[in-house]
Structure 1
């Protein structure tokens, strides 16, 4: 093999190695992004559950207060 063809072969191997390294790095980044997105989605569901429970409590308290006020109004009206 001539010296020039050996240089070309070495350069091609270097290019292929660099492409391989870049591909590995890109897949690593995609994996990290995917994992972080999964965490964000899970956190969103957790937050939605907290918001839902809070809204249910507020609704219950509001209904209880409204019923109590209505009962008081009925008592006053009867007296």
Structure 2
């Protein structure tokens, strides 16, 4: 009986640890996604797009999955056309 309780306790604490770890890493994953996508967009646009527009597009596309054509329109936008 004690052995079964010990195993269940270990699984419970492991599951709790994994859930808490995922919650704490969410902002880090969002920032990493934004940085990777911003660098990719900047490269795809040949560094000719407005940096602020590209950064906002990267932030939006990390929250909602954008298609490539939607991301590429950011290359032709400037800060005044948003």
Determine which structure has more spread, i.e. the larger CA radius of gyration: 1
| TM-score, scaled to structure 2 | 0.41
Which one has the bigger helix percentage? 1
